[in-house]
Amino acid sequence: MIVLDGTVISVTTPAMVDDLGLTLSGAQWLSSGYAVVFAALLLTSGRLGDRYGRRLLFLLGVATFAAASLIAAGAQESAELLGARLVQGMGGAMVLPSTLSTLNATFRGRDRAVAFGLWGAVMAGAAAIGPLLGGWLATAFDWRWVFLINLPLAALVLGLGVRFVPETTGGSGRGFDLLGLVLSVVGLGSLVFGLIEAPVVGWLRPRADVELFGFTWPQQAGVSPALIALVLGALATILLGVVERGRARRGRAVVADLSLFAVPTFAWGNLTAAMVAVGEFAVLFGLPLYLVYAERLSILQAGWVVAAMAVGAFVAGARARSLAGRFGPARVVTLGLSLELVATVVAAVVLPSGPPVPLIAALLAGYGLGLGLASAQLTSVVLRDVPVSSSGAAAATQSTVRQLGSAFGAALAGSVLAIGFAITVPQRLGLVAGVTGDDATVMIDYMTGTAGAVIAWIRAKGTQGHFGVLGPQVADQLSIAFAQSASAMLWTAAAFIALGLAGALAVERASGSRPDRSSEPLGSSGRG
């Protein structure tokens, strides 16, 4: 449910843009707003689960997620939909670390490897199936069904969770780190907010009056709200580190256990997870928009293309465990990221030439193969040397860096597309005799403001629109501009995947030098 709702939005965004009039910034916030709240609350949720019970937090999170899904399904305005997505992020933040820490505390030995392998395979499969499910629901019914479908799933999960999921805790009785909780929420939330908004409102100074949560930030203020958010986030995060180190030295409870980063597999694994998430969500944000508006596919057709990732992910997920037994989990992660990198680079090379859709689907299937291999084993590798008593905090930390990466990935993709439009739209429209420079400037704003939907509008008008008989030519040139901008976005994604691959190689070296502690007894973090 949680991962599905993070990716199902990608292919249904065009339908929401058309129905609710979302801008490119608003489209980014459908994915990134969810990730902002998710990232801001993960550390808090992990510690709360360790203290008060992981199953309890899991069930509360599922209920919260379902309630927010109902609100999103009934949204009549973009602000209402975005608000519901923020509440979904709250529920997701309670669910995700609870699942990981419960697995880490419940299963040992071979069973633990199988459990994490299945967890990773489901995560990868859900991420890949999301676009197909979203495309089918939006086409056969309405985009609102991508949220309504969560309600019966939540009811089923709540019933099965009460019956079968054991309650576990971290066994900590050292107090409650309220200051750490506040600093983690303020720091992480502000950093992600600043990263998302800076490309839109300006990094240093506001480009125009900015509407934020019902208030107007005037252009005359001289300093961008995104810059203030980034500075506030950095200061709060630094202060969090100081406070947590001091509390740890005194033996008091902490929300962010920084000592975990002394474990090489945990430290390098988290860096890998963050970089890969940036690349993955950059791909998932931009490609569906390109397929619908530039390639003229329907939402369902775009969903089928992106769902080629699911085929690759499921095939790889089925093989990941046997490969891990033969070569080691860390080597499988490296292999998976290598496949992701190759597929992304090839896609970036061929996209500007307007490749056939089956080729795009084949490349996404290759990407899915890598995604399935890497996702199925990375979490197990990252948590393998972490004490069970800290599994909630460790799982929350890993989930946090993933969500920070996904939020930044969506924000980065939107920013690269916007920059690409500013460069390529004037170049392409300059080839159409009769289109003025002023027209090109206006079309840059339209391409950014509609996330590319203006191409479909111009094409639908034919020769009866603003450009008259030039309309079809303008639409064709804007499609090429979108393809070139999307290629730049894929090159950016590839750069971050390459950084993740470098981190995976470091994880492989570190895991080869430390014993696997997965066969140790359950310890103090058993069933509560």
pLDDT tens-digit readout, 123-153: 656 665 666 677 777 777 888 888 888 899 9
How many structural domains does the chain have? 3
CB atoms within 10 A of CB 175: 12
| Residue 519 confidence (pLDDT) | 37
Same domain for 63 and 116: yes
- Residue 331 exposure: Cα atoms within 13 Å on the Cβ side: 9
| Residue 154 confidence (pLDDT) | 94
> C-alpha distances in angstroms, 264 versus 47, 268, 490?
22, 6, 30
What residues contact 372, with CB distance under 8 A and at least 6 apart?
121, 124, 125, 312, 313, 314, 315, 316, 317, 320, 336
| Residue 387 confidence (pLDDT) | 73
**Coil, strand or helix at 108:** coil
**Average pLDDT rounded to a whole number, residues 29-48:** 75
DSSP track, 343-371: HHHHHHHHGGG---HHHHHHHHHHHHHHH
| Residue 503 confidence (pLDDT) | 87
pLDDT interval class at 520 (50, 70, 90): very low
Same domain for 301 and 381: yes
Domain that holds residue 29: 2-176+253-421+483-514
pLDDT interval class at 172 (50, 70, 90): low
**Average pLDDT rounded to a whole number, residues 26-39:** 72
Same domain for 262 and 393: yes
Same domain for 462 and 368: no
Asked if residue 449 has pLDDT above 70, the reply is no
φ, ψ of residue 520 to 5 degrees: the values are -70, 160
Any idea what the CATH number is for the domain that residue 154 is in?
A: 1.20.1250.20
Of 454 and 64, which is predicted with more confidence? 64
Asked if residue 479 has pLDDT above 80, the reply is yes
By percentage, how much of the chain surpasses pLDDT 70? 83
Same domain for 287 and 260: yes
| Residue 525 confidence (pLDDT) | 36
Task: Quote the distance between the C-alpha of residue 31 and its chain's center.
Answer: 7
Distance in angstroms (rounded) separating the CA atoms of residues 56 and 498: 39
Same domain for 131 and 113: yes
Last residue of one domain, picked from the residues 252, 268, 299: 252
Distance in angstroms (rounded) separating the CA atoms of residues 107 and 320: 19
> C-alpha distances in angstroms, 502 versus 125, 373, 390?
24, 16, 27
Determine if the pTM surpasses 0.85: no
Same domain for 33 and 53: yes
pLDDT, tens only, 175-203: 677 888 788 888 877 877 787 677 667 77
| Residue 211 confidence (pLDDT) | 67
Q: How high does pLDDT run on average in the chain?
A: 79
Domain assignment present for residue 88? The answer is yes
**Coil, strand or helix at 112:** helix
Same domain for 292 and 319: yes
| Residue 311 confidence (pLDDT) | 76
Q: What is the 3-state secondary structure (H, E, C) of 33-86?
A: HHHHHHHHHHHHHHHHHHHHCHHHHHHHHHHHHHHHHHHHHCCCCHHHHHHHHH
Asked if residue 107 has pLDDT above 60, the reply is yes
| Residue 10 confidence (pLDDT) | 62
Asked if residue 528 has pLDDT above 70, the reply is no
Asked if residue 512 has pLDDT above 80, the reply is no
Question: Is the CB of residue 269 less than 8 Å from the CB of residue 501?
Answer: no
Same domain for 350 and 472: no
What residues contact 4, with CB distance under 8 A and at least 6 apart?
126, 127, 129, 130, 133
| Residue 104 confidence (pLDDT) | 75
Same domain for 197 and 85: no
Same domain for 462 and 337: no
Of 432 and 92, which is predicted with more confidence? 92
| Residue 521 confidence (pLDDT) | 35
Domain assignment present for residue 524? The answer is no
